[in-house]
Structure 1
């Protein structure tokens, strides 16, 4: 080994030692963070040591998660990994595809046949138990079915629409299935899904509202009757947090406010809170800006409007409904909103007590096939 090789290796070893020592010192001196804005989740905190936790092999995994979550400049390293992944042509991370034009698309996982059958049976049983309630179902295809042209090349994807059709064909014929695939597909060149989030945009929800009006037999409000307000241009959604891909343009969020104001009251029943607005505008300052709609998800919400037609609607839903519900205010006297993931009371008794006329089951397809709480309908 010549003199230059020795100098090179010693210099390299010295630089590596300085880097490791520096990072070790920074990690010790840096205070722990409680929350990651970019990942939209709570970070692991230092686990409490005990001999029992150590022997039961609980301490070491928790400590490894703690070190990973609290590592200095974590966001920088994640961003660097994202750049490397994209450079080498990686197409998927953590169940999210990085598509064309900067779109992030949530992968659809094939559901188990028995799970699908159980949910269909639960819906049919619920219908038979409530024969006087006109029932509608809307299963919304996610972006991966509508924006197939945005998928990366050579990606083979399970057909989400096939499973939606399976549900449609298996339902009791008296249940009204609202197929929004055609109208969403015809508008796929418009901004109807967020790029960084799994939800549809307010415009996408508006097109579904038009389809809903045909099935529920009410006259929809034309788009010209709304004041469309852009409330943010810096929304990074759930898929951005989940995938870890960085250097992607943020989304914007719009709300459609009727030019002729409708008086209403929103009761968050379980929280014992009342509001005069469907929107929590302070959430625009937070990471999860989609919670501007209804301040997120709740077990039970009741909207009472000035409409005197006496019609009462129950919406059983996931978060996709949050952007569509504001369009329904002018068509019903009362709208009751239930999220089965958090609601524990008997739904049949709720319908009888509140004299519900119509019910809308509204889910995006991905949540519908993954969420087991839907089977609670038959209980």
Structure 2
């Protein structure tokens, strides 16, 4: 009897060892296949799914090895170029959802299919530097009125759409601190109230961090009041759908709602020929167009780039408006969908994006008879920006 039990025990142990050996072999074979697949898998420069540039293989240098930079870059390269990356990202997102997680890469999966970027914590030192530079810039041109327009992000305005138990930073408090730091140098444009008054409407995209054209329209109305624009020049506009398949950057960043498609609208004159004609000059690219919209971008992943063709260092918009006023806008991409509402009021509008502009803003002010200046940013971009001060201080050091 004892001998029989011993034989059964030995048999079980052999089977267990055999299973472990088989699993180890399968793991090694799978690991070998993944490594082989990664070797032959072609590298990509851009991810359509994530709407971003991917890390490329770093150059091996002695300084890179000594500093540790090479290994950091190589790790990012391996992560970005792994075979089947899009599938792995999608799988991770689905597993996280099954586990109850409703946040990915700083993006919340909210109610009603809203994706919302978390409210950013200010880079305090850099932001204070930017604000001081803006005040100094205004002091250099005391006779030219300047305005500050900070657009709240969706997680602030649509806080009721956030997932349960999500806690975000108090962006209203940050805005109040920024307004206080400007010390009256720039006129504050209160667009937060306008956005919250219309929060039940479709003022932010569901899958993108930008405001919609309707949101930009309400922003324009708040701005027109602050600028004291003569709205008798206002052209009657009507929304027109230009796409029904927009899926924005927040979907790409988070992996949520990748199949969700939403419409995009632009506001055009209700009666053809009633609005001002425009010539849009992309100064650094040395290109000119007779429209504020690049419809070719509607065929690409980043359809929001339809507005002015995306971001550019310096854009000069000349109009046939009955006006001699000239506006300089220092901005991020939120301004791109708002500018069409301003063309009836200005002979010329200059748009400077400090992230891509390396010229002398002082020359723009002096050579083009600027009559007013507007700083237009969304809150998240502004509190992390590291470009504004450099562009504004360039005017002081040239």
TM (norm. structure 2) is: 0.86
Structure 1 unpaired stretches of 5+:
none
> Does residue 271 of structure 1 match 2:285?
yes
> Does residue 255 of structure 1 match 2:266?
yes
Instruction: Give the whole-Å Cα distance in 1 for the aligned partners of 2:21 and 2:48.
Output: 40
> Does residue 71 of structure 1 match 2:85?
no
> Does residue 155 of structure 1 match 2:155?
no
- The Cα RMSD (Å) is 2.6
Aligned to 2:182: 171
CA displacement, residues 83-103 of structure 1 (integer Å, 9 cap, x when unaligned): 011111123222222222222
Aligned to 2:139: 128
Cα distance, 1:129 vs structure 2 = 1.3
1:344 to 339, 358, 373: 358
Structure 2 unpaired stretches of 5+:
1-10
Q: Is the 8 A contact 1:197 1:237 kept in 2?
A: yes
Instruction: Give the whole-Å Cα distance in 2 for the aligned partners of 1:264 and 1:51.
Output: 53
> Structure 1 residues 344 and 50 mapped into 2: Cα distance closer, same or farther (>3 Å)?
closer
Cα distance, 1:112 vs structure 2 = 4.6
Cα distance, 1:271 vs structure 2 = 1.3
Cα distance, 1:322 vs structure 2 = 0.3
Instruction: Give the whole-Å Cα distance in 2 for the aligned partners of 1:170 and 1:61.
Output: 38
Aligned to 1:228: 239
SS in 2 for 1:234: strand
Please identify the structure whose Cα radius of gyration is greater: 2
SS in 2 for 1:372: coil
Cα distance, 1:73 vs structure 2 = 1.4
TM (norm. structure 1) is: 0.90
Following superposition of structure 1 onto structure 2, how do residues 184-199 of structure 1 map, counting pairs within 5 Å?
184-199=195-210
> Structure 1 residues 333 and 54 mapped into 2: Cα distance closer, same or farther (>3 Å)?
closer
SS in 2 for 1:69: helix
SS in 1 for 2:143: coil
CA displacement, residues 122-175 of structure 1 (integer Å, 9 cap, x when unaligned): 222222211221212111111111010111222222111111122223334363
Q: Is the 8 A contact 2:119 2:156 kept in 1?
A: no
Cα distance, 1:348 vs structure 2 = 3.3
Aligned to 1:41: 52
> Does residue 143 of structure 1 match 2:154?
yes
Q: Is the 8 A contact 2:123 2:384 kept in 1?
A: no
> Structure 1 residues 246 and 11 mapped into 2: Cα distance closer, same or farther (>3 Å)?
farther
Aligned to 2:294: 280
Aligned to 2:94: 83
